[in-house]
Chain A
Amino acid sequence: MTSIRLTQDVRAAGNASRARTSGAPGRRGIGRAALALILPFFVLFTLVTILPIVYSLYLSLFREKQNGLYGAGGTTQVFVGLANFVQVLSDPQYVNGYLNIVVYVLIYVPVLMVGAMAVALFLDSAVARLKRTLQFSLFVPHLVPGIVASLLWLYLYIPQISPFAKALRSVGVEGNILTPGGVFPSIANIGIWAGLGYNMVIFYAALQAIPRELIEAARIDGAGGFRVAISVKVPLIRGSVGLAMLFSAVGALQVFTEPLILHQYSPGLVSSGWSPNLYAYTQAFGGGHNYPLAACASLVLAVFSALLSFLVTRFAKPWSSR
């Protein structure tokens, strides 16, 4: 299930063909064909991922210095070593962005996983009706562009507009989620709304792949529907759950659109540096055009994200059998 494990699986699968091709005649033709087939990807990958990172690293080592009065003499690039990194990492707003993400992940990931799993298990149970319609209805939010989902939910949050606030008002309750205490739930809710059906489909597909004999056997041993779900089905699909958790957590680290929209609605509620990604964007486009600082903020985030996925895949290894 982890990418490291996956490599091994793929390697094992490819072993047979490797043994054959290496001994085949026309070895040169094969080498040339392999090169021709992987080249397009690696040229693009270099252009789009490696070069930007290298260039940003280079850029992050310099600072713009203005010459003359108010920069009238133009600007010059001054080598400053790691000073930009020091500045970013000692900026309370940037560090606070990571703390926000930690709290956000602790709300978003468990609710999303438990919710998607519960819905998948209920759908997988014999008594569920209208399975196809329900699956479709749950999945559609995944097809809504993230920016549209954020705008839509903002309207559903604003008390004067929200139909939910109106329903609450009709029973005498004044509800408003756009308060300091409601920021995390309101941002997490947008992600959960968009991701629930997507993860449900993954879990449901995995549940459907469980051999029916295993479930049958557990039933014969006296386990009821609930017990079968918790003790048999969930452990059997933990590989899928682990991967879904990893993708959700790494996705959460990148959160950008939701805080951007809430920031534009109320800058006092959600700051322009609420998440690391939003911080980097604000540094680059928020008027200051501080590209070196934006580059640093992005690079640190990229390293953290890669490190997180790597650690999770390593950590996840022992308990993932599928």
Chain B
Amino acid sequence: MSANIASADTTLRRRRFPTTGRTRRFSFSAIPVNVILFLAAAYTFIPLLWMLFAGLENASAISQGDVFSFAHFRVAGNFADLFGQDNGIYARWYANSILYAGLGAVVCALVCLAAGYAFDKYDFRGKETLFGLVLIGVLVPAAATTLPLYLLASKVGLANTYLAVFIPSLVNPFGVYLARVFSASYIPDEVIEAARMDGASELQIFRRVGLRLLSPGFATIMLFQFSAIWNGFLLPLVMLTDNRLFPVSLGLYTWNTQATVQNPSLVNVVMIGSLLAIVPLVIAFVSLQRFWKAGLTAGSVK
């Protein structure tokens, strides 16, 4: 509607102030714009393409700088090496990553939504002080507290366990902040009031009404946390020494440090393993596009 009015207004004003000549001169023209965009996309895409080919070719393709010549394909062999190396531990790393990131993201999103909902809908003593603490949590980056976390975990004997990586992955202060914003914009107070009239208890209202209305927020927070945990490296690096507990990111790193002159094909294995490690994230982000875009705009535009 408003667009129609605006364009009608445009025609009226254009008649009075003819400006076509000046407009042309400073306009973006199609060819340079598309060339620059294409170059930017090439910059981001060529390394990925290199990774794909390096993962599908043999070791001499890399060592000779010959990856893009397509002359050294070794597809089946690389896949066999990937799943055969160290008694097939790659599959275990993958399963670990799914456990850390999948379960971790779901629990984290629920924890964040519960807290964000309570901050938005209830009034209680010390509320703004506690929310200030959440904001301080946003300001102190996780990377700076990872080492202190390790020192504590090793003191209480939790270092080098699943929990050492899993529990820290459940905390995301920014998620609580996002959840409060989502709760304020998605859940009308009238709905909660109506549920109260129907005799529902407060926790029932959260479970049956709040969580349902917050499901887009759940998807957003979960997706961000999933990618953060899946891509996380510093936390497992300092916490874990037993390679059966590694996530994919740390496992690939240790393989890469072992790649030597004696075993140069490990680099190809690392590359194909890396490529497979990106697949779940690409699928998640592509299929849940509207949710993470909602998260980005809630965090910045609002």
Shortest distance from the beta carbon of A115 to any chain B beta carbon, whole Å: 7
Residues of B within 8 A of A152 (CB): 47, 50-51, 271, 274
Known: A193-B43, A244-B300. A216 touches B149 (CB 8 A): no
Complex interface residues of chain A between 256 and 294 (CB less than 8 A to chain B): 256-257, 264, 277, 280-281, 284-285, 291, 294
Q: Any chain B CB within 8 A of the CB of A155?
A: yes
Beta-carbon contact of B147 and A128 below 8 Å: no
Beta-carbon contact of A166 and B65 below 8 Å: yes
Q: Any chain B CB within 8 A of the CB of A10?
A: yes
Complex interface residues of chain B between 129 and 144 (CB less than 8 A to chain A): 130-141, 143-144
Residues of B within 8 A of A129 (CB): 30, 34
- Most chain B CB inside 10 Å of its own CB: which residue of A3, A37, A251: A37
Q: Chain A 1-20 against B: per-residue CB contact (8 Å), 1 yes, 0 no? A: 10110110111011011101
Q: Any chain B CB within 8 A of the CB of A318?
A: no
Known: A44-B111, A141-B44, A298-B148. A213 touches B2 (CB 8 A): yes
Known: A202-B296, A225-B28. A264 touches B147 (CB 8 A): no
Q: Any chain A CB within 8 A of the CB of B41?
A: yes
Known: A20-B189, A127-B33, A134-B41. A155 touches B267 (CB 8 A): yes
Q: Any chain B CB within 8 A of the CB of A109?
A: no
Shortest distance from the beta carbon of B131 to any chain A beta carbon, whole Å: 7
Give the A interface residue count (CB, 8 A). 129
Beta-carbon contact of A38 and B147 below 8 Å: no
Q: Which residue of A lies closest to B252 (CB)?
A: A148
Shortest distance from the beta carbon of A176 to any chain B beta carbon, whole Å: 13
Complex CA distance for A222 and B249, rounded to whole angstroms: 53
Complex interface residues of chain B between 145 and 177 (CB less than 8 A to chain A): 145-152, 155, 167-168, 170-171, 173, 176-177
Known: A33-B118, A38-B115. A216 touches B6 (CB 8 A): yes
Partner of A240, one of B38, B65, B118, B300: B300
Known: A52-B151, A147-B252, A302-B141. A224 touches B296 (CB 8 A): no
Residues of B within 8 A of A177 (CB): none
Partner of B122, one of A4, A34, A136: A34
Q: Which residue of B lies closest to A299 (CB)?
A: B148
Complex interface residues of chain B between 47 and 66 (CB less than 8 A to chain A): 47-48, 50-51, 54, 62-63, 65
Q: Any chain A CB within 8 A of the CB of B88?
A: no
Beta-carbon contact of A162 and B65 below 8 Å: yes
Beta-carbon contact of A119 and B114 below 8 Å: no
Residues of B within 8 A of A95 (CB): none
Complex interface residues of chain A between 73 and 92 (CB less than 8 A to chain B): none
Residues of B within 8 A of A197 (CB): 44
Complex CA distance for A256 and B249, rounded to whole angstroms: 15
> Which residues from chain A sit less than 8 Å from chain B, CB to CB?
1, 3-4, 6-7, 9-11, 13-14, 16-18, 20-22, 24, 26, 29-38, 40-42, 44-45, 47-49, 51-53, 55-56, 59, 115, 118-119, 122-123, 125-129, 133-134, 136-141, 143-148, 151-153, 155-156, 160-163, 165-166, 193, 196-197, 201-202, 205-206, 209, 211-213, 216-217, 219-227, 229, 237, 239-240, 243-244, 250-251, 253-254, 256-257, 264, 277, 280-281, 284-285, 291, 294-295, 298-299, 301-302, 305-306, 309-310, 322
